[in-house]
Amino acid sequence: MNEEQQCLLLSSASHFWPPKGVKLSYGTAGFRADASLLQSTVYRVGILAALRSLKTRSVIGLMITASHNKVSDNGVKIAYASGGMLSQHWEPFVDALANAPSPQHLLLLINEFVEKEGISVDGDWQVEVLLGRDTRPSGDALLQAAKQA
């Protein structure tokens, strides 16, 4: 990641600090929690979706939904065009992203993962992430967080 990309990431991440005292983990349904706790997580899952698109050279979906939970809850998950879910191999990384305590730590995690996975962030592939949301009252604010990634 070049210096300009790193500065952009640090700047945008400074608006999305993780909630204090909360540790989130990605499961088969993605992240689920009270919607008031999810803005930073949705932002960070947006970053993960972009990296996954670069890695797989494909369109990745980011869905904001918690269809069977109470209305004050919401969630976010990654989906592939095939209907598949996030690779289990990437779940520890998305957990680490969601729980990174600062923008600097987030950047460090991303740089380490990009190098480990051999993801070209300066290549010729244009990131393609499709965003979707349900109609819960929290959906629009969470969608806006995803768009900042």
- 67 among known catalytic residues: yes
Phi, psi of 64 (to 5 degrees): -100, 110
Phi, psi of 133 (to 5 degrees): -150, 160
Distance of CA 105 to the CA centre of its chain: 15
Active-site hit among 11, 14, 67, 102: 67
How far is the CA of 90 from the CAs of 7, 11, 102, 136, in angstroms? Answer: 25, 25, 20, 28
CA distance 145 to 108: 21
Q: What would the two tokens of residue 131 be?
A: 């965003």
**Contacts (Cβ under 8 Å, ≥6 apart) of 133:** 63, 64, 65, 139, 140, 142, 143
- According to DSSP, the β-strands at 129-133 and 73-80 are unpaired
Indicate which residues carry an active-site annotation.
67
